[in-house]
Structure 1
Amino acid sequence: MAARRRQATQEWATRTARDRTDAPARGRLLDAAEAVFGRLGYGPATIADITAEAEVSRAGFYVYFASKDEVFRVLARRVRDAFLAAQDVPGVDTDDVAAVTEASTAAFIAAYARHLPLLVLLEQQAHADDEVRALWEEIRERPVRRAARYVRRVAAEGRVHPVVDPLTLSRAVGGMSVEFARTVAARPASYDAAVRDVTTMYRHLLGIGAPDRQ
């Protein structure tokens, strides 16, 4: 009975605290979980590893997350949102296609390089977990389809002249960005060149001019 009461209290605390998404401790736990999962892998990683990395108590962990599974899925959603945000390009005029291609490419490569260890792990876990698989498909597909909608719009307005179907083009640019991001993850100094080169190819596929080279 006492054990059930403790479990119920823990679950209640978790549910009632989930809206406090901006709490600094929650952010530290998520950052720590990403580092731990990337370093140890999903199976070997423990809640104790995460709380030690975050310098948060185990009780503090349960204020925000019910389990290791939950924090992993929250991380997956955070990564998905990071890739969608990469296409928002705040401060850039969306009618300026040249600026959008450079800003969105830079943001995508930066996000992929930053989250690469977790992305590798997500792809692995997707084979065994339906919910993770759905999140992984979102991470792969939503940015591509969103980019394709943008290309269709600016093509219809006569701003670009894509050499292939917008969805095919967006998949190609996404694939190039992923490959360059892997290099950036290993060699961060290559970031500027990676952005320049992918942007050049992106613009070529859109039928517009290449960026100025320094």
Structure 2
Amino acid sequence: MTGDEQAGRRTWATRTARDRSDAPARGRLLDAAETVFARLGHGAATVGDITAEAEVSRAGFYVYFASKEEIFRVLAARVRDAFLAAQDVPDVGTDDVRAVAEASVGAFIAAYARHLPLLGLLAQQARTDPGVRELWQEICERPVHRHARYIRRVAAEGRAAPVAEPLSVARAVGGMCVEFARLTAADPGAHDDAVRDVTAMYLHLLGVVPGVKDHAGQGT
């Protein structure tokens, strides 16, 4: 095989992998798997249950996933990515600490409430499955450490005065978000109040005084 042929094969393989990861059928299978695992548990759920829920053939399942265990791990990675994405607020000016706080708290509470049924299963599977354990640790730790880096940055810029070490503040805020997400999951109508209250407590811990313009000149 020539160099050009090898390069062409690599390009085709990369494109195929990307196309498969973005395929609507794969997304339906993941959504269906999360529903099925939440309803039946990891042990009782089968590939047949997932394909029936997704209305995808069994053969179609194996185009994207090798096993029930693999799709479960992919779900774990999707939850991790959802929590990390909740910290990205592209429609909010990053100089406005209060707006960033409110948007990220709202997104995180919504993401946690959405995935709450699966999170208990992930914690259980992490005890016996090394692959799930690694992903579970990332779910628990990566958003917290990323948040702590943000707190350190805004503090260094003079736009916040955290009441404690940034990692401790990040853990405290994460814990509040989790507790209020549980309340929101039980009562979706409580979402707005939860976001308002957690944001107020977060800003207090961050050392951002309500009603006072921050260093960049942004108001409330």
Q: Provide TM-score, normalisation by structure 2.
A: 0.87
The code of the aligned residue for 2:139 comes to I
Q: How far apart are the structure 2 equivalents of 1:127 and 1:87?
A: 28
What is the distance in 2 between the residues matched to 1:111 and 1:18?
Answer: 27
Work out whether residues 113 and 185 of structure 1, in 8 Å CA contact, stay in contact via their aligned partners in 2.
yes
Give ranges in structure 1 of 5+ residues lacking alignment.
1-14
Tell me if the contact between 1:127 and 1:133 (Cα under 8 Å) persists in the aligned partners.
yes
- Pairwise CA distance, 1:90: 1.2
Separation of aligned partners in 1, 2:65 and 2:164: 45
Map 1:166-205 → 2, pairs under 5 A: 166-205=166-205
Contact 1:30 1:71 in 2 (8 A): yes
Q: For 2:160 and 2:92, how far apart are their aligned partners in 1?
A: 17
- Provide runs of 4+ in structure 1 moved above 6 Å: none
Unpaired segments ≥5 residues, structure 2: 1-13, 212-220
Q: Which residue matches 2:6? A: none
CA distance in 2, matches of 1:84, 1:151: 15
Equivalent position SS for 1:161: coil
Please name the residue that 1:100 is paired with: 100
Instruction: State the alpha-carbon separation in 1 of the partners of residues 22 and 92 from structure 2.
Output: 26
Residues 37-89 of structure 1 show CA distances to partners (whole Å, capped at 9, x for unaligned) of 01110000000000000000000000100000000000000110000000011
**1:181 corresponds to which letter in structure 2?**
A
8 Å contact from structure 1 (residues 89, 100) kept in 2: yes
What is the DSSP-based 3-state SS (H/G/I as helix, E as strand, rest coil) of the residue aligned with 1:21? helix
Identical amino acids, percent of aligned pairs? 73
Supply the distance in 1 between the matched residues of 2:207 and 2:120 (Cα, whole angstroms). Answer: 33
- State the partner residue of 2:123: 123
Aligned to 1:112: 112
Preserved CA contact (<8 Å) 1:144 1:171 = yes
Q: CA RMSD in A?
A: 1.4
CA-to-aligned-CA distance 1:138-193 (integer Å, 9 cap, x gap): 00101000010000000001100100000000000000000000111111010000
Question: Matched residues in 1 for 2:139 and 2:55: separation?
Answer: 29
- Counting matched residue pairs gives 197
1:16 offset after TM fit, Å? 9.2
Against the structure 1 CA distance between its residues 167 and 22, is the aligned structure 2 distance closer, same or farther, given a 3 Å change threshold?
A: same
TM-score (ref. length: structure 1): 0.89
Determine if contact 1:32/1:50 at 8 Å carries over to the other structure: yes
Please state how far the C-alpha of 1:18 moved relative to its aligned partner: 4.1
| Secondary structure of 1:124 counterpart | helix
The whole-number CA distance in structure 2 between the counterparts of 1:18 and 1:122 is: 26
Aligned partner of 1:35: which letter? T
Q: Are the equivalent residues in 2 in contact too, given 1:18–1:64 (CA < 8 A)?
A: no
Q: Is contact 1:32-1:53 (8 Å) kept?
A: yes
